[in-house]
Amino acid sequence: MNIWANHITNLTDGRYFAAYNAAWISFCFNPESPDFIAPNVAVGIAGWLEGPQMAGSFGRQQTDDDIRNMAESLNLQAVVLNIEHDATTLEDLPVFWEISTKQLDDDFENLLSLVANKAFATCFILHFETQKTTFNDFFETQKAAFEALKQATEQASFYLKMNFEATDLRLIAQELPHLQGIVLQGGEEEAVGIKSFDELDEIMTYFE
């Protein structure tokens, strides 16, 4: 199971996740997002990191040409787009499609349809927007939805983005053996180069 380090905004987070051998580090280039990072800042952070591949997230208002030009100029290994993004000319780029549970209307059978109907995709990221939902909660209380998710992970490559607890990781590995990985996110620094990783540390012990 791999780590996707999401929307990195500072070198401290980048180094932390790289030290745990994160497979991917992503930056948000959507100017309408609170996680937006200037491309030159992202390049500066990426230059200090070894190991992870680099991805960029883009908004629906950004054109295919804008996305392609940034992906090429920043040497991104993948782009992340919302599943509703009309990216008709990006078939040749590695695209990760992000799907929120709100877009599924809580009907996970829709997830199987989205996977089957997406003409080109490198991977999918499923985002549980209700952040209080842990994997254990989902597994225990939404059996039909879980089975649909399990089928989807068997048909396509998936990362899971939700409120993880340390105890979830072994359960995820056991119940979703085909899952590509999980999405984790850092946060703001207390000062340049200074921040606490106490909450993440509990989760990361699984990857040691």
* Helix 109-117 vs helix 143-155: crossing angle, to nearest 10: 20
Q: What is the pLDDT at residue 191?
A: 59
What pLDDT shows up at residue 133? 75
Q: What is the mean pLDDT of the chain?
A: 90
Write down the pTM of the prediction.
Answer: 0.92
107 pLDDT band, cuts 50/70/90, is confident
Lowest mean pLDDT among 20-34, 41-55, 132-146, 160-174: 132-146
> Would you state the pLDDT for residue 189?
64
Q: How confident is the model at residue 86 (pLDDT cuts 50, 70, 90)?
A: confident
Residue 137 is given by DSSP the state: H
- For the segment 195-202, the average pLDDT, to the nearest whole number, is 83
Rounded CA gap, 60 and 29, in Å?
11
CA atoms within 13 A on the CB side of 101: 16
Q: Are 63 and 89 in contact (CB under 8 A)?
A: no
